Structure 1
Amino acid sequence: MGDRQRAGSGPGRREFVALGLGAFAVAAWPLTRGRRRRLVRRRLPLMGTVAEVGVVHTDPAWAWSAAGAALDALSACEARLTRFRDDSDVGRVNASAAGAAVEVGPWTADVLRTGLRIAHESGGRFDPCLGQAVRAWDVAHRTTPLTEAERLDLAGRHPFQALTLESTAEGGRILRRTPDVVLDLGGIGKGYGVDRAVDALRAWGVQDGLVNVGGDLYALGFSPDGDPWVVGVRAPDDPERMLAELPLSEGAVATSGDYQQGFDHEGRRYAHILDPATGAPVRSSFHTVTVGAPTCVEADAWATAVFGLDPARAEALLRRASPTLRLVHVA
């Protein structure tokens, strides 16, 4: 929690404070400035990683409680969106028969609505319905790739096109028109959870703070010294080395990379980010991509969508989708 790191290369030798797990660290601030404003941090294992919430305030006890409310929001989000629980909204949808409508809560409907929009805007490079392919590859446990026949059976599918989402007073109604539509919100759920945690902080009256969930980060307001937060992007092969420094205030960044989950086989990396066109993990000459956006749900999904593209194509796709999206760093 209190570990400090020096940037080993790049813009300078700024000192950084570790932010749990994931791609980011935050720049330390001079101890002689803003001494009454403290950053109080809480951590909790959530969403397959470690979630960390930091609140800047003069009252540490109040900040601790506010951070707890944000972690509660993250926990509630995970309970609704995980595919690993039969009683979650996602679990109930995936267990339903094709053609049967399932009522879901407002958070599930909201994140899926955003996911379907980005699926269309990205030409299917992001797809929240790739659960069948994700299960088939299971990169966390496999040591060899699928056979060519198995891969071809998955290639060229865009299952998001066969999902119907209707808004209701209680949230939404989801219908899988074909059985190969299997929800997997792994490429967007953490970002959505970060945004809900930020909402919880704002409801408490928090003006300055951070929420980081395994490489999906939102910076609220300013650091303890009153300046914008400076977020360091860690090198995938050396977490003590910072590849870039990002001034950030009231905005989000998210990183996707092939170093997070996957396996190596015969000189090739098979990571968890799948290419719907090929039915296989994305092949990329880069290991990590960081995207900035007004919300973390957008940064998360778009970092998934542009992973594997060369920087020029990635920037063009982001610009076409929205002027508020930006390619922050590729390595």
Structure 2
Amino acid sequence: MRRLLSSLVGLILALQTFTLSAETKGDWQDFDGKAQGTTYRIRYFGPSEKLIAPDIEKRLQEIDRVFSNYRKDSAIELFNAKRSKDWQTVPSELARLVIKAKEFSELTSGAFDITIGQLLKVWGFGPYKSHSKKKTIPTDAAIAEALARSGYRKLEAKLDPPSLKKLNPDILVDLSGIAQGYTVDQLGELLEQKTIRSYLVEVGGELRGRGTNKEGKAWQVAVENPEVDSGLGNILSLSAASLSTSGNYRDYVEIHGIRYSHIFDPRVGRPIPSEFVSASVMTADCTTADALAKAFLILSEPEQKALATKLQLAVLLQKRVGKDFTSSRLGNFP
């Protein structure tokens, strides 16, 4: 569901020269690759990429083996495959992320929910995406049945020992709404463990910036306008923050000439009838930004304002007004 989100965020990085500080050793590095059905790119000041890239690749593979809904042997898919209401032992980082995701579900009154697998299946999104040219709208009965087999309160998690339990054996957990943000944080923390303080990590459009760029200034990034071929929009600075943008205008299915977005309200099981076309959330960690960016597309305007105030979030919302688009900001979004 996040494969196309890299197109939502354009990165603007100038190629300036710099003077090597007496307090630091290394050079500016820049490398990229493919992961999680999308691309990643990492820029940092420190040792050669030859010393860093192998550890990055290793960590990406570890994350994929735990969280990917696109491989049957991943920890989450092995859990999904078992129609059991017993506790199932899982990797500790999976249990931790599920606990975190459930916290976001509570904060958003269910607008963010990782137990949407059955709904994705009914609508043909994510790992259940249909490539058939003949697409149909799910019946009310099919949606109701999927909803009965969904709901974050029907999924339990604990850390000692790390385990998950389904209260409904047909629950399907989909982590695509939070896993890329988590991945960005993990790669950032890996760099910090290697005493790298200035870096920009991007995975599929999810961003985490620390320190400064070559010019000695905050990293400059830009959020794309939702209008077709409109280019880059709001330019932002990241020096100790993360940014996630979620949009409902690129990934969709078209049935009888009507577009149905891949972002739908998990509480009703249907695409959101909202004027908002994209939401960008800036906060300290990318896991939070990733999860909440989706929720802001679903929540009502009063709910959006209340959540931004409660969590002290910086949010950029872009809305369709007729044939035009307008932007509004919550919190201290630059």
TM-score using structure 2 length: 0.83
After superposition, the C-alpha distances for 1:180-228 in whole angstroms (9 at most, x for unaligned) are: 3211001001111111111111112211111111121111211111111
Please name the residue that 2:322 is paired with: none
Residue 269 of structure 1: aligned partner: 259
- Tell me what 1:104 maps to: 90
Match of 2:239 among 231, 249, 260: 249
The 1:69–1:259 alpha-carbon spacing in structure 2 relative to 1, beyond 3 Å, is: farther
1:28 aligns with 2:28: no
Between Structure 1 and Structure 2, how many residues are aligned?
304
Report the AA paired with residue 23 of structure 1: L
Q: 1:277 to 1:186 in 2, by over 3 A?
A: same
The aligned runs of 1:202-281 (5 Å cut-off) are: 202-238=192-228, 241-281=231-271
Question: Given residue 11 of structure 2, which amino acid in structure 1 is its aligned partner?
Answer: V
CA distance in 1, matches of 2:250, 2:58: 25
Question: Helix, strand or coil: the match of 1:144?
Answer: coil
Residue aligning to 1:132: 118
Calculate percent identity across the aligned residue pairs. 24
| 1:156-190 deviation line (CA, Å, top 9, x unaligned) | 87521011111125xx1111111232110010011
What SS does structure 2 have at the residue aligned with 1:181? coil
Q: Classify 1:238/1:222 alpha carbon distance in 2 versus 1 (closer, same or farther; 3 Å).
A: farther
The offset of 1:66, in angstroms, is 2.0
CA shift, 1:152, in A, is 3.5
Deviation at 1:261, TM superposition (A): 2.0
Q: 2:208·2:243 contact (CA, 8 Å) conserved in 1?
A: yes
Q: Do the aligned residues in 2 keep the contact of 1:41 with 1:67 (CA within 8 Å)?
A: no
Cα shift at 1:239: 6.0
Residue ranges of structure 1 left out of the alignment (5+ in a row): 1-19
Give the conservation status (yes or no) of the 8 Å contact 2:149–2:171: no
Q: Please show how residues 1-331 of structure 1 align to structure 2 within 5 Å.
A: 21-29=6-14, 31=16, 33-34=17-18, 39-57=28-46, 59=47, 62-139=48-125, 140-141=129-130, 143-155=135-147, 159-168=151-160, 172-238=162-228, 241-309=231-299, 313-320=303-310, 322-323=311-312, 325-331=313-319
Aligned mates of 2:227, 2:34 — CA distance in 1:
23
Normalising by the residue count of structure 1, what TM-score does the alignment of the two structures yield? Answer: 0.84
Distance 2:168 2:56 in 1: 37
Alpha-carbon deviations, 1:4-51, whole Å to 9, x = none? xxxxxxxxxxxxxxxx933222333362x4165854222222112112
Given that residues 92 and 102 in structure 1 are in contact (C-alpha distance below 8 angstroms), is that contact kept between their aligned partners in structure 2? Answer: no
| Residues in 2 aligned to 1:68 and 1:289: alpha-carbon distance in whole angstroms | 34
- SS of 1:80's equivalent? helix
Alignment-mate amino acid for residue 137 of structure 2: P
Superposition deviation, residue 309 in structure 1: 3.8
- Please list the CA deviations of residues 123-159 of structure 1 after superposition, one character each: whole Å capped at 9, or x if unmatched: 0000011111111111342633212332343458752
- Residue in 2 that maps onto 1:6: none
Measure, in 2, the Cα distance between the counterparts of 1:68 and 1:328: 35
Q: Which stretches in structure 2 are left out of the alignment for 5+ residues?
A: 21-25, 320-334
Residues 329 and 276 of structure 1, relative CA distance in 2, 3 Å threshold: closer
Cα gap change, 1:183/1:155 in structure 2, threshold over 3 Å: closer, same or farther?
closer
